[in-house]
Structure 1
Amino acid sequence: MALYMGPNLLTGPIPSSLGTLSKLNVMSLVENRLSGEIPPTLGNLTQLIEFYLTGNELTGQIPPSLGKCSLGILSLGNNNLTGKIPNEVFLADTIIDLSFQNNMLVGPIPSELGLLRNMVVVDFMGNMLTGEIPVSIGGCQSLQYLYVRQNLLHGSIPSTMKKLTGLQELDLSSNNLSGTIPEFFSSFAGLTYLNLSFNKLIGEVPDAGIFHNATAFSIVGNDDLCGGIPALGLPPCLKQSTKKKKFPRLPVVVSVSTILSLIFISFLIFQYGKHKSNKKQLDPIASSSQLPRVSYADLSRATDGFSTANLIGEGRFGSVYRGNMSLGEHSIVAVKILKLQERGASHSFLAECETLRYLRHRNLVKILTACSTIDPRQYDFKALVFEYLPNGNLDKWLHVNKGEHGGQQALNLCQRLSIVIDVGSAVEYLHDFKPKPVVHCDLKPSNILLDSDMVPHVGDFGLARFINQQNRNQFQSSGWTAFRGTFGYAAPEYGIGNEVTTCGDVYSYGILLLEMFTGRSPTGENFQAEFNLHSFVVAAFPNHVEVVADHNLIPSSEDTERDPNSLLNKEATLSRLASILRIGLICSKQLPAERMQMRDVVKELHKIKEKLYPLRNNEGTFESQIAERTQEQAH
């Protein structure tokens, strides 16, 4: 038996009489305006397996009686609950998902947490928990997601956490943790997101495993760290003999033999001042790149309180709003608000910051600044601000509905060919980026935005990562591979847990190319299991291209009869479409080794473009020269 009553606008207290529904297995009252305390009588629901109260205005303490239920999922986040977490809640060994985020809970994390061997998710972020991380946590051997950011925890990271080898995401940021960063995190093969920022950690940063990928972890706001990979920009660690002790930041007695030490300590003081001045912003991209700073109030004002009237796009990890604000030469911007309640959203924010701070290409979306702060409700708030591209995303133009875009017709062959070449150039730039290639991991039409001149810009780098070609196996992960792209576009090898490579982007690009020139989405209802967009085109290639090609791209017989000297006759068009689809088929082959490299793809497409539209010179735009040739033939 299940009871679902949210999201709605329900107000008032939760009726204690709900405790009489003895056969209830699932209760969900999420996203209402319920107030008052959680009735202790709900502990009588001994068959209750899933209990969701997230997103209400509940107060008071968590009833210890909930420990009598056979709970597998207990979700009480985003309320105003107070008091300590009752030990009894952890006595139900059936619990696999425990979410108490964004309340006002106090006291220590109960040591009974370690009894939950089957626990998969623990989310305590955004409370006022004190004490140390219990050493008993090593007993949670099935734990995959642990979020404890923005609390008041102190002490070191316990060595017993080395038993949590299945961890995929770990966030201990914004606490008062001290000591060194444990080396054992480097050996966690499935760990794809690690946030240790804004604590009091000291010592050397490891440089293996997850610490070799700057987009996968964050350590900002720990002023006494050193070493690590060069991308972190940390000072080198002092080499000390075993007889010497490490000295924290203390007054230094100067002697003749300490000149070199003074130089190094001066550098540390400089770094400390720089970090300290940026602590309020908590913004890795704005602080490092000297970009404009914006506050929550600025973004709220620019988007009219994040009004739905300004909502221009929505994805798994964020919502994008049109905003009116002055940032340099930009008066209109696109503001992406991260959905931090989604697991992986913080990783997405970090990935976009770390990749876009380095990347510069005319066909990539330009980031203007970022914001990481606390909203008026004292919840974490993260946002990215991009240039605004008025023609929206490519998906809306490929599958345009009548009346959209001011009556704009479907994209013509010339426009589509220019777009795929520009997108290919951007992907080629990513794959050839130095010192390490970048894999986008989510190429698809909805992530390609068009400016006022219909020039494409690849965006949404929330899944992107730098890759180390010398040690690719370090990226193998059974957990994060589920987020390696979108169904229909993601490379088949990602589905069986293979590591992220540039070949995966090539596959997605191949599917994108096939979609653009057939007009069919790879997620269409006709494509299932083995019969996908690739096999659909293969069945007609090369002799029946006209059957699968988008009919908007092929001149009709009537057009050819009216204009026998047409620049693009039907035969020439079908021939070039076959050449384009051939590239898409090679890029989307099942085996990664059989796919083309992006630099070769771009070269081949340029050749097709030149044969289809031979140009006399390099002056003017491509489209203007085509128009000029057409006018000449008309005369």
Structure 2
Amino acid sequence: MLPKCIGNLSTTLTAFSSGGNRVFGEIPEEIGNFVNLEVLFMNLNQLSGVIPSNLGNLRNLARLDLSDNNMGGTIPSSLGNLTKLIGLSLSGNNFRGQIPSQLSNCRSLDSLDLSSNNLGGAIPPQLIGLSSFAIILDLSRNHLTGVLPKEVGNLRALTALDISDNLLVGEVPSSLGACIGLTSLRMGGNFFHGSIPQSIRLLGGIEELDISRNNLSGQIPEFLAVLHSLKILNLSYNKFEGMLPREGVFKNVTSTFIIGNNELCGGLPEFHLPDCISKSSKSKKINIVILSTCIIFGVLGVAVILAFIYLCWLKKKVNKPVPSLINSSCPNISYGELLKATDSFSSTNLIGVGSCGSVYKGILKDSGIAVAVKVFHLVHHGALKSFTVECEALKTIKHRNLLKILTVCSSIDYQGNDFKAIVYEFMDNGSLERWLHPSATSSHGNELPKKLNFIRRISIAIGVASALDYLHHQCHFPILHCDLKPSNILLDAKMVVHLGDFGLAKFLLGSSHDTVANQMSSMGLRGSVGYAPPEYAMGCEVSREGDVYSYGILLLEMFTGLSPTDNRFGDNLTLHSFVAAALPERVLEVTDRIPLLARASVWESLVPMKCLKNG
């Protein structure tokens, strides 16, 4: 630790550097005594605590680097007093809250790096409107919301802008074309929509352009092919359509990334895109369609009339219309609506509690549908990251055995505190945990014990396996769930499996900087005790095999009825070793008694008893 007596050094000190060591603890407030300090480097250490507010007294400070530590809290507004500051780097920490607008007072700044933190809220227009940035502005891998302010066009001398992996929305501002000094522009991993603005053609010196993992659409502009300095172009996972250019950067298939745009065609053969349909071919097809339509028009007319008559008859039988489910395209729901839906988050509506949040049952007032509302406990370490990762994971995946997210709420409550919640489809039959261990999970005396027969357990096991196969092998980016256990497996009214709780999920992108999910190393051990593979506790990287291990433990629990955290297990005895010792002679002794009869009857109907007796 840095001792407090460090303040006894001469006040004429102009430079202090302790970077790249193993210094831990908090920064002594006595550092604020060095009023003549011009350089303060304390990066690449293990510092914790907050930034002392009296650092704002160092009016001569030109360079401040506290990056790659374990510091937290908010960024103090007093840093805005450092009007001579040229470079500021706070990346790789756990700073939260909003970016203080007072940093706009630092008119001499030429580089600002706040990446890889937990910062939220909107980007202050006053800050991004500074015309002094000449080198780099890096706000990536945070939780920033709102739009990219149009004032970004004031950064005419900016050479690198990185706002990737945030929660930014809206269209890409056309004012970016005024940043004529840009050589690197990274905006991937947000929620930008619309088309690529024509003003981007003015960035004649651009070398890297990454707008992947957004909701951008339209055709790829031809001017990207004539930006001769462009060396890396990433358009992956958007909604672009039409012909892919063949010139410029599009000649280099190793530097142009277009995967995840299913409506593209043409381009070089190496891109393996379908051929584009010419206008003449389209015209011929249109004529054929028109002719065919005319031929069957009478048949369709009769079908429409019959359908109309049927609908009128059906309408009379329905007392009231069934409300349609909200979906991912609807706007964020408000805090007030969720408050009413859950009866002020009443304990009677509480259906589950986890490490990062609580789940309540609610009835939406407008539609009358039942929903499950997961409210994140933001005061808990890692809860905000869990919210972001779950949104990131669920926004691009769709499978019948995955829990469907209906909408999200990112707001403030009536006390002015940050509020984050995710709204899901309500699962009528609760979690698998309640069915396997009803006495341990039932909180209501009138709740009937849950029982699962053998066939039902087999169906659930297949459903979970199907969900894992989809996550591991069929997504655009493979996703590791990292927390597979019965309480995260939900069952709808038809007992169909829905795997949920992606708060600890991780994307396999091949890079530790490509996604929000890869920032979560600070959340500690992934998984739950008893289900996480042993190597995770030793610091090993998460893997597909880790999910498969958890699935194996889940299978043992389903067919023995014993939890891996049961009191009988401890020391060297685990659920796995308990079952392994019983195989194969004493398998019936460790099998759950509830499905035993159903299992035997099913087996007897499938194979002759003689075969069963012979093994």
Bin for the TM-score computed over the shorter chain: 0.5 to 0.7
Provide the rounded CA distance (Å) in 2 between the counterparts of 1:399 and 1:335: 23
C-alpha displacement of 1:170? 3.5
Spell out the pairing of 1:5-404 with structure 2 (5 A cutoff): 74=49, 86-87=56-57, 97-100=71-74, 108=80, 120-125=93-98, 129-131=102-104, 145=117, 147=119, 149-150=121-122, 152=124, 153-154=127-128, 170-171=142-143, 173=145, 178=152, 182=160, 194=166, 202=176, 214=189, 227-229=210-212, 232-233=215-216, 236=220, 238-239=223-224, 241=227, 289-291=328-330, 293-326=332-365, 331-401=369-439
Provide the rounded CA distance (Å) in 2 between the counterparts of 1:66 and 1:339: 35
Provide the rounded CA distance (Å) in 2 between the counterparts of 1:488 and 1:383: 28
Query: 1:121-151 CA distances to partner (integer Å, 9 max, x unpaired)?
Result: 33343765442789699899xx964536446
- Specify the SS of the correspondent of 1:386: strand
Kept in 2: contact 1:463–1:483 (CA 8 A)? no
Partner of 1:517: 559
Residue among 573, 579, 597 paired with 1:537: 579
Provide the rounded CA distance (Å) in 1 between the counterparts of 2:55 and 2:513: 40
State the TM-score, normalizing by the size of structure 1.
0.54
Change in Cα spacing, 1:149 to 1:220, as seen in structure 2 (3 Å) is farther
- Specify the SS of the correspondent of 1:121: coil
Change in Cα spacing, 1:327 to 1:233, as seen in structure 2 (3 Å) is farther
Identity within the alignment, %: 34
User: Could you tell which deviates more after superposition, 542-551 or 514-523?
Assistant: 542-551
Provide the rounded CA distance (Å) in 2 between the counterparts of 1:220 and 1:338: 27
State the TM-score, normalizing by the size of structure 2.
0.55
Kept in 1: contact 2:92–2:117 (CA 8 A)? no
Kept in 1: contact 2:145–2:168 (CA 8 A)? yes
Spell out the pairing of 1:551-570 with structure 2 (5 A cutoff): 551-554=593-596, 568-569=599-600
Change in Cα spacing, 1:86 to 1:183, as seen in structure 2 (3 Å) is closer
C-alpha displacement of 1:611? 4.4
Provide the rounded CA distance (Å) in 1 between the counterparts of 2:344 and 2:521: 36
Kept in 2: contact 1:172–1:197 (CA 8 A)? no
Q: Which amino acid letter does the alignment assign opposite residue 330 of structure 2?
A: L
Provide the rounded CA distance (Å) in 1 between the counterparts of 2:79 and 2:513: 41
- Specify the SS of the correspondent of 1:99: coil
- Specify the SS of the correspondent of 1:368: strand
User: Quick check: 1:506 aligned with 2:548?
Assistant: yes
Partner of 2:482: 441
Q: Which amino acid letter does the alignment assign opposite residue 95 of structure 2?
A: V
Higher relative contact order (CA 8 A, sep 6+): 1
Provide the rounded CA distance (Å) in 2 between the counterparts of 1:355 and 1:323: 24
- For this pair of structures, how many residues does the alignment match? 439
User: Could you tell which deviates more after superposition, 459-468 or 474-483?
Assistant: 474-483
- Specify the SS of the correspondent of 1:543: coil
- Specify the SS of the correspondent of 2:447: helix
Q: For structure 2, which runs of at least 5 residues remain unmatched after alignment?
A: 1-24, 34-45, 201-208, 231-324, 608-615
Provide the rounded CA distance (Å) in 2 between the counterparts of 1:369 and 1:478: 23
Partner of 2:458: 417
Kept in 2: contact 1:449–1:457 (CA 8 A)? yes
Kept in 1: contact 2:71–2:95 (CA 8 A)? yes
Q: For structure 1, which runs of at least 5 residues remain unmatched after alignment?
A: 1-48, 52-63, 77-82, 187-192, 245-285, 556-566, 573-609, 616-635
Change in Cα spacing, 1:318 to 1:223, as seen in structure 2 (3 Å) is farther
- Specify the SS of the correspondent of 1:407: coil
Provide the rounded CA distance (Å) in 1 between the counterparts of 2:605 and 2:50: 60
Provide the rounded CA distance (Å) in 2 between the counterparts of 1:442 and 1:546: 29
Q: Which amino acid letter does the alignment assign opposite residue 119 of structure 2?
A: Y
Q: Which amino acid letter does the alignment assign opposite residue 305 of structure 1?
A: S
C-alpha displacement of 1:512? 1.0
C-alpha displacement of 1:320? 1.6
Provide the rounded CA distance (Å) in 2 between the counterparts of 1:506 and 1:124: 37
- Specify the SS of the correspondent of 2:104: coil
Provide the rounded CA distance (Å) in 2 between the counterparts of 1:381 and 1:422: 33
Kept in 1: contact 2:32–2:54 (CA 8 A)? no
